[in-house]
Every structure is written in C-alpha cells, then in structure tokens.
C-alpha cells in the first residue's frame, strides 16, 4: 500500500521548524545576507529545538526521529535561507550520521553525543584547492607515528570551517596507493579544532550563501591519535561516499524548500503587480513560469520523500538519492531564475528575496557532486555500467519517535 500523508510526528516537526524559521530567521536574513554575517546565535536555538541531533538515536544524545523528519527540517530551513540547511547537512548528515554508522562505541560517546546535544558543532573536510569531484586527487597525508598519525594538508570550501569544533578529515595513509591513484589508500580521521597545528579561516566576498560560514582549514604536523581514525585504514573512500549520500539527501530536500520559497514569492508579487492594467499573474508567460515551479516543487518533493522512505527501510538508495539531488538542485536554479524574471527590475534588487534565492541556489548545483557528476551517474545506471547490489544499508533505519 502506498500512502502520501505525513504522520502526526512529521507534521509536528514540519510546523516546529517552520515557526522557528518565521520567528528567528526571516526577520534578520536579509541583513545578514547583505552584510555577509553568520548568525552564531542561531546555533544554540537550533540545539534547543533538537535539530542538531534530530535523527540520532537517543542513546547517543539524539532525538530518535527518522529520515523523513530530517528531510522536512531541511526543506523548511532552506525555505528561510540556504545557510540554515547547510548547518544540518554538514553537522548532522555528512558528519553525524557517518560517525553513527562507522564509529566505535567509544568514538560515539566522545564525539557524537556532544554533537547531537548541540554542545559541539561538526563539519566535513574533503574538498581541497586542487581536488573536489576527483576525490583521489586530494593531497592531504596522514603518516603513522606510533600511536598517532601526523596530518598535513589543506581543505577549502568547507562549510562552518571557522565555527566547527570537530572535523571529519580525509587523507592518504598509503603513499604507494596515492601514486597509483588507488582510493584504497585513503583513510578518515576525527580532528578537533584544539589540536596543535590546526588553523582555519573564512572565505569572504562569496557570491551566494553569504549568511553562512564557508572557509578553509590547514593541518600542519597535526598529531592525531590512532583512536581518532574512523573505520579501518583504507576505508576512507567508502566512508566519504557514504557521507556524501547522506549529504545529498539533505541537499535535495533543501533545494525543494528553495523552490517553494521562489513559488511563494512569485505568486505574491504576480498577484500584486500590474502591467497593461491587469495583474501580471494574468499574463500567460508569467503563468507558465509559475506552473513550472509547481511542477518542479512537487516532483522534487516526491523524489526526496522516496529516498527518505528507502532510508527508513534500511534499503540501498544511492541511485535514488543521486537522482533526487540532481533533479531538485537543477530545478531550484530554474525556479530562482524565473522568480527573478517575474519580479523584473525589482528582482535585480535586494529589496525582494528572489535575488538571494538566485545567488544561493547555484552552490547546491556544484557541491555534493556536481550536476555533471550526477548526470554521468544516472546515465551509467541506465546503461548498466553502474549498479547497486540489492542489499540493506550499512546504517540501520533510525526509528520514528
């Protein structure tokens, strides 16, 4: 049986986050975006609502909600601004859920619990100045030295780089495999800001997501205990791919929220603005753009909801999540462009929010796998060059509260 109604729990999560965005985000987001200011005061507020540990089990400090709840939260947060959804993506999806799946009990106790409670903020460190989609092109190294690893390298375009306390870092532990570009030489590590040799900075003058913190960090002979390695040596690539799938899910849901924001802003403006003595909502080509937003919102939402259902069932969803991310982000770019067009010259001004939507949407078309990467993935699935074995996910479904 197929059902499309949200449960009472899901509706309560949706309403909780919607009220938070209306109360805490929308009144200040225009100014924060214009000034390129990250509002740190939102972090404890999100923690008190349970958002930072939303779908982490309660035994690890979280709140036992499911993946549909996570998707709904991301959709509502990005309706307010992309920078808010990014926090959940890197802290909870890319880092937290990966630690939940791959971490030892000791690691979960030490790092995941304070993250889920919002006492510590976490992020993900894969991208480098010369490597993004080409994961095996990274240069960061981790040399074993007794009971420690010595990490050296630089990561860039890292969300919350200048704010986070914990970093999930990927580095080469096998020099020979690095020379061969063999991903089995990559490993993952949990790095803390307080470690000697760690430094970070913020990218300024970004084109989009100006209200979010995006930056870089450097590792100079950072001594990381071997106990901080996540998984076994050589499992870094698998861990990174697992993490990116969780992140892509949140990006897909968030981009869906941005489409809805474009639709609401365009509908309001079209009904209130008149040309040729009639509201522009009466003009056929304006209707066409608004209809396209309706189509893209509904299809994007169905795709990420299907992924969330598969995740709740513990079933493989690599292909489905890739498709959801690809479709929703490209659709959000189209919706934002049309929203600016509907607003005409006013869309070219920060007096209206659609310019911010247009600047923000582009990031999601690039990160968590570019539009081109996902295009190739979907073609390879269709042509039989890539397949997902029909086994259960490594991560068990998180029970619904």
CATH of the domain at 159: 2.40.110.10
What integer pLDDT is reported at residue 394 of this predicted model? Answer: 46
To which residue do tokens 């304070």 refer? 114
- Whether residues 227 and 245 fall in one domain: no
- Whether residues 193 and 227 fall in one domain: yes
What integer pLDDT is reported at residue 132 of this predicted model? Answer: 85
Q: Is position 368 annotated as part of the catalytic site?
A: yes
Return d(Cα 242, Cα 135) in angstroms, integer. 13
Q: Which residues of the chain have pLDDT under 50?
A: 392, 394-401
Structure tokens at 19: 């009220």
Active-site option among 15, 351, 368, 400: 368
- Whether residues 243 and 379 fall in one domain: yes
Structural domain ending residue among the three candidates 208, 236, 264: 236
Let me know: does 88 contact 253? Beta carbons within 8 Å.
Answer: no
Structural domain ending residue among the three candidates 236, 255, 287: 236
pTM to 2 decimals?
Answer: 0.95
Residue 197 belongs to domain spanning:
123-236
Asked if residue 95 is part of any domain, the answer here is yes
What integer pLDDT is reported at residue 397 of this predicted model? Answer: 43
Return d(Cα 222, Cα 218) in angstroms, integer. 9
Asked if residue 400 is part of any domain, the answer here is no
To which residue do tokens 């990467």 refer? 373
Let me know: does 222 contact 150? Beta carbons within 8 Å.
Answer: yes
Q: Environment class of residue 97 by beta-carbon count within 10 Å: exposed (0-12), middle (13-18) or buried (19+)?
A: buried
Asked if residue 68 is part of any domain, the answer here is yes
- Whether residues 186 and 167 fall in one domain: yes
- Whether residues 228 and 248 fall in one domain: no
- Whether residues 242 and 342 fall in one domain: yes
Asked if residue 393 is part of any domain, the answer here is no
Asked if residue 348 is part of any domain, the answer here is yes
- Whether residues 158 and 202 fall in one domain: yes
DSSP string, 192-211: ETTSTTEEEEE--S-SS-TT
- The residues near 179 (Cβ < 8 Å, ≥ 6 apart) are none
Q: Where are the alpha helices (DSSP H) in 21-153?
A: 26-35, 42-48, 67-80, 82-88, 97-102, 105-107, 113-116
What integer pLDDT is reported at residue 4 of this predicted model? Answer: 84
Asked if residue 79 is part of any domain, the answer here is yes
CATH of the domain at 355: 1.20.140.10
Asked if residue 392 is part of any domain, the answer here is no
What integer pLDDT is reported at residue 302 of this predicted model? Answer: 97
What integer pLDDT is reported at residue 323 of this predicted model? Answer: 98
Asked if residue 3 is part of any domain, the answer here is no
- Whether residues 12 and 96 fall in one domain: yes
Structural domain ending residue among the three candidates 88, 121, 154: 121
Domain tally for the chain? 3
- Whether residues 245 and 340 fall in one domain: yes
Buried-state track 354-370, b at ≥16 Cβ within 10 A, e below 16: bbbbbbbbbbbbebbbe
What integer pLDDT is reported at residue 398 of this predicted model? Answer: 45
């Amino acid at each position: 049986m197929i059902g499309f109604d949200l449960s009472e729990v899901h509706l309560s999560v949706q309403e909780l986050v919607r009220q938070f965005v209306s109360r805490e985000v929308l009144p200040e987001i225009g100014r924060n975006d214009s000034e390129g200011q990250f509002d740190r005061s939102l972090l404890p507020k999100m923690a008190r609502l349970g958002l930072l540990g939303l779908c982490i089990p309660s035994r690890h400090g979280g709140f036992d909600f499911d993946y549909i709840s996570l998707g709904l939260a991301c959709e509502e947060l990005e309706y307010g601004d992309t920078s808010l959804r990014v926090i959940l993506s890197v802290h909870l999806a890319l880092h937290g859920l990966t630690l939940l799946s791959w971490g030892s009990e000791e690691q979960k106790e030490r790092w995941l619990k304070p993250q889920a409670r919002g006492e510590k903020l976490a992020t993900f460190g894969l991208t480098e100045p010369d490597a993004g989609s080409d994961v095996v092109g990274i240069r960061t190294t981790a040399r074993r030295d007794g009971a420690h690893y010595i990490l050296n390298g630089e990561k860039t375009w890292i969300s919350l780089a200048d704010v986070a306390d914990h970093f999930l870092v990927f580095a080469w532990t096998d020099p020979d495999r690095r020379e061969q570009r063999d991903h089995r030489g990559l490993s993952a590590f949990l790095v803390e800001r307080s470690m000697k040799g760690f430094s970070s900075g913020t990218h300024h003058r970004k084109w989009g997501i100006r209200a979010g913190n995006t930056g870089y960090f450097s590792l100079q002979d950072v001594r990381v205990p071997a106990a901080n390695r996540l998984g076994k040596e050589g499992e870094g690539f698998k861990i990174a791919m697992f993490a990116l799938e969780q992140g892509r899910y949140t990006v897909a849901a968030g981009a869906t929220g941005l489409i809805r924001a474009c639709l609401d802003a365009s509908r309001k403006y079209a009904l209130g603005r008149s040309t040729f003595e009639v509201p522009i909502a009466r003009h056929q080509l304006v209707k066409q753009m608004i209809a396209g937003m309706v189509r893209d919102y509904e299809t994007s939402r169905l795709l990420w909801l299907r992924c969330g259902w598969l995740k709740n069932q513990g079933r493989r969803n690599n292909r489905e999540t890739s498709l959801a991310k690809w479709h929703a982000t490209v659709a959000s770019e189209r919706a934002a462009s049309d929203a600016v067009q509907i607003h005409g010259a006013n869309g070219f001004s920060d007096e209206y929010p659609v310019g911010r939507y247009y600047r923000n949407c582009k990031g999601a078309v690039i990160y968590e796998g570019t539009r081109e990467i996902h295009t190739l993935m979907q073609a390879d699935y269709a042509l039989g060059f890539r397949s997902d074995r029909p086994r259960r996910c490594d991560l068990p479904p998180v029970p619904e509260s």
